[in-house]
Amino acid sequence: MIVLVALLATVGLGRTAQAATTERIVVNRFSGLAIDGYDPIGYFIDRVPVKGLPEFEAWQGGAVWRFHNEGNRADFLAHPEVYGPQFGGYDPVDVARGVTVAGNPLLWVIAGERLYLFDLEAHRDAFAAEPERFLPEANERWPALLDTLAQ
C-alpha cells in the first residue's frame, strides 16, 4: 500500500513539475496549474471564474488545466485554442507593448469569443472599452514574443 501511494505521488509530482517548465502558458510556479486552477470554460458558461477540481485535470500545451466537470474538460480538449486564454494568459495590453506580463485569472474579459487575462484593472478596462485598439499590435508582436518563451 505504501509503495502504491509513493508511486502515485511521484507520478503526480512529475506531471506538475513538467507543467511548470513551460513559459508559453502562464502557470502557477508552485502548483504547475494554468490560470491558477480556474476552469477556462467557466468564463464562457458561468461568466465568472470557477475553480476547477483535481479529479477533472488535463495536460495540454505544457500545463495542467483543471475543470469543474468532465463536460468542460472534454470541450476544452477539443478546442483549447478557443477556450484557453489568448496569448497564453499574458496581458494583451503588455503584449501589444512587446512584453510578457502574466495575467490574473480574476481580471478577465471575453472579447470576440476569446478569453483575455490582465495584470492590471486599468489594462482590463481599457481593453474592454476598445479591444480593437490593442489586438492588432498584440497579434503582430505575439509570435516574436512566443519565440522567446521556453517550451
Q: pLDDT of 97-144, one tens digit each?
A: 999 999 999 999 999 999 999 999 999 999 999 999 999 999 999 999
Domain extent listing, the chain:
20-148
Residue 105 pLDDT: 97
Task: From residue 91, give the alpha-carbon distance in Å to each of 16, 39, 75, 107.
Answer: 24, 18, 24, 10
Residue 18 pLDDT: 42
Provide mean pLDDT across the span 46-69: 95
